[in-house]
């Protein structure tokens, strides 16, 4: 079975988990490390013949237009991850519309040739309360979303009873929900990111095999900063610190194992666009 792989293209200081410490208006003051981490991922994908979906933050596109074009030149899909990483749950429809428009314009301005049809919400903030965002995305010709986390335990995101396979979430909009395995009737996230860094690799592998055995394609996600143990450290409360810095030095090795053990392609391919 072929799965989807996606990269949420942002730098270490763009993360919601750091928002209480780092003000968005000051992103430009921090050490910019996205380019080299993106190239590392592109090289790894190339080594294993993998094509993936790169959800781009418009702010990064403004900063690194050549890198965005390089992603396209190497055959990958380009999607949108907003402009300034606002959670939809904390935005008004008007604010969301403006951010999406700004993000799309920044990415288009880099000169890429493909149409952008996919969206990933910052911090998976498409929830039951923010379904209004889908109409806005459709008005910008977005055809699929991959932001719903079908779990109920997380304080910031999740739709507890969402389907586990790609489904039609509203008129002319497909949802590819983040991947969870079903173990003894419970939904266990195994989609990537912090979960990938937290579990030993063999657990992720077992859970993803379990998903594929259920005849479901998985969608995996990672951020460029997650393979960068050399990133600057900021002083965070204990739980946030763990969430951001846990096992950064192991992620690149694990990613390489994952690319050997599973087949991956773009989300667009899996959904048949
Ligand atoms: Zn993000």
Copy the structure tokens of residue 10. Answer: 């942002």
Please tell me the distance between residue 222's alpha carbon and the centre of ligand 1 in angstroms: 9
List Cα–Cα distances, 153 to 40, 56, 90, 161, 175, in angstroms: 33, 27, 19, 12, 20
Please tell me the distance between residue 241's alpha carbon and the centre of ligand 1 in angstroms: 17
Please tell me the distance between residue 184's alpha carbon and the centre of ligand 1 in angstroms: 30
Please tell me the distance between residue 123's alpha carbon and the centre of ligand 1 in angstroms: 6
Q: Cα 43–81–156 angle (5° rounding)?
A: 115
Measured over the CA atoms of residue 12, residue 13, residue 15 and residue 18, the dihedral's sign is positive
* Residue appearing with tokens 């929830």: 127
Round to whole Å and give the CA distance between 88 and 2. 30
pLDDT at 223: 98
Helices within 48-163 (DSSP H only): 58-63, 65-73, 93-109, 133-139
Domains of the chain with bracketed CATH: 2-271 (3.20.20.370)
**Residue 176 burial class via C-beta count within 10 angstroms: exposed 0-12, middle 13-18, buried 19 and up:** buried
**DSSP label at 52?**
-
Please tell me the distance between residue 15's alpha carbon and the centre of ligand 1 in angstroms: 6
Give the contacts of 23 (CB within 8 A, at least 6 positions apart).
none
Find the length of the chain: 273
Show pLDDT as tens, one digit a residue, over the chain (273 residues).
999 999 999 999 999 989 889 999 999 999 999 999 999 999 999 999 999 999 999 999 999 999 999 999 999 999 999 999 999 999 999 999 999 999 999 999 999 999 999 999 999 999 999 999 999 999 999 999 999 999 998 888 999 999 999 999 999 999 999 999 999 999 999 999 999 999 999 999 999 999 999 999 999 999 999 999 999 999 998 989 998 999 999 999 999 999 999 999 999 999 999
81: closest CA among 17, 126, 18? 126
Round to whole Å and give the CA distance between 13 and 49. 30
pLDDT at 154: 86
Please tell me the distance between residue 11's alpha carbon and the centre of ligand 1 in angstroms: 9
* Residue appearing with tokens 């911090």: 123
Please tell me the distance between residue 85's alpha carbon and the centre of ligand 1 in angstroms: 6
**DSSP label at 87?**
-
Cβ atoms within 10 Å, residue 128 = 11
């Amino acid at each position: 079975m072929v799965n989807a792989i996606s990269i949420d293209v942002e730098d270490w200081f763009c993360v919601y988990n750091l928002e209480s410490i780092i003000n968005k208006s000051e992103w430009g003051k921090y050490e910019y490390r996205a380019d080299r981490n993106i190239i590392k991922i592109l090289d790894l994908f190339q080594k294993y013949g993998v094509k993936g979906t790169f959800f781009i933050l418009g702010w990064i596109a403004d900063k690194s237009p050549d890198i965005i074009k390089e992603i396209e030149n190497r055959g990958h899909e380009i999607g949108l991850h907003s402009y300034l990483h606002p959670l939809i749950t904390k935005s008004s429809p008007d604010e969301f519309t403006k951010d999406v428009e700004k993000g799309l314009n920044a990415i288009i301005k880099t000169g890429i040739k493909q149409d952008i049809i996919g969206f990933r919400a910052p911090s998976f903030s498409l929830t039951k309360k923010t379904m209004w965002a889908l109409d806005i995305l459709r008005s910008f010709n977005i055809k699929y979303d991959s932001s719903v986390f079908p779990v109920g335990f997380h304080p910031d995101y999740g739709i507890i009873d969402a389907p586990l396979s790609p489904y039609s979430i509203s008129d002319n909009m497909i949802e590819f929900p983040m991947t969870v395995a079903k173990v003894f009737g419970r939904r266990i996230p195994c989609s990537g990111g912090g979960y990938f860094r937290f579990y030993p690799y063999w657990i992720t592998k077992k859970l993803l095999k379990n998903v594929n055995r259920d005849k479901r394609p998985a969608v995996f996600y990672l951020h460029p900063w997650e393979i960068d143990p050399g990133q600057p450290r900021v002083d965070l409360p204990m739980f946030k610190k763990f969430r951001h810095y846990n096992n950064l030095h192991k992620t690149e090795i694990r990613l390489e194992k994952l690319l050997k053990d599973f087949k991956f392609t773009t989300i667009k391919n899996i959904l048949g666009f």
